[in-house]
């Protein structure tokens, strides 16, 4: 089971000098994708329990478009293990003009992570054979 979303990073997402976006913003996008997976699988938003790994691999700036992919890799009775990736697909091009941007020929992997979410049994509205 997979979920995807695309989001443009805005000036309000920039937390550091030079329009650099805080890594926590990417983790929030992973949380949104995890929520979609839980709703599709359990019929409930569930809870994000923990990340087991997070790797920030490239910077993200205001004006960049990010594509997030989430995949459920294992489902237990209440736990859901997921893997996440965030790819930069469009980047701002301020050197070409204040509203210029470039579609990247090759997307850039900016972050990957894995984590566990939980949907309590009493909240699971969609039943599965487990």
Cβ–Cβ under 8 Å, residues 86 and 109: yes
For residue 65, CA distances in Å to 39, 70, 71 come to 25, 17, 20
DSSP at 64: -
pLDDT digits (tens, 9 = 90+) for 27-43: 999 999 999 999 999 99
Question: Which one, of 129, 121, 6, 2, lies nearest residue 64 by Cα?
Answer: 6
With bands split at pLDDT 50, 70 and 90, how would you rate the model's confidence at 86? very high
| Whether residue 108 has pLDDT greater than 80 | yes
Q: What is the pTM of this model?
A: 0.92
Structural domains of the chain sorted by starting position, each given as residue range(s) with its CATH number in brackets: 2-123 (3.10.129.10)
pLDDT digits (tens, 9 = 90+) for 70-80: 999 999 999 99
Distance CA 106, CA 100 (A): 18
Average pLDDT on 36-51 reads: 95
For Cα atoms 78, 83, 89, give the angle at the middle one, nearest 5 degrees: 140
DSSP at 121: G
What pairs with residue 4 in β-bridges? 69
Distance CA 4, CA 32 (A): 10
């Amino acid at each position: 089971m997979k979920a995807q979303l695309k989001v443009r990073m805005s000036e309000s997402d920039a937390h550091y000098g030079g329009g650099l976006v805080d890594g926590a913003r990417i983790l929030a996008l992973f949380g949104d994708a995890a929520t979609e997976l839980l709703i599709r699988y359990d019929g409930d938003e569930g809870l994000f329990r923990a990340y087991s790994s997070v790797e920030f691999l490239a910077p993200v700036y205001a004006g960049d478009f990010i594509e997030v992919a989430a995949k459920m890799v294992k489902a237990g009775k209440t736990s859901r293990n997921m893997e996440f990736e965030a790819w930069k697909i469009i980047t701002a091009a301020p050197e070409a003009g204040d509203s210029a941007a470039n579609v990247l020929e090759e997307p850039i992997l900016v972050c990957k992570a894995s984590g566990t979410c939980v949907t309590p049994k009493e909240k699971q509205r969609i039943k599965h054979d487990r």
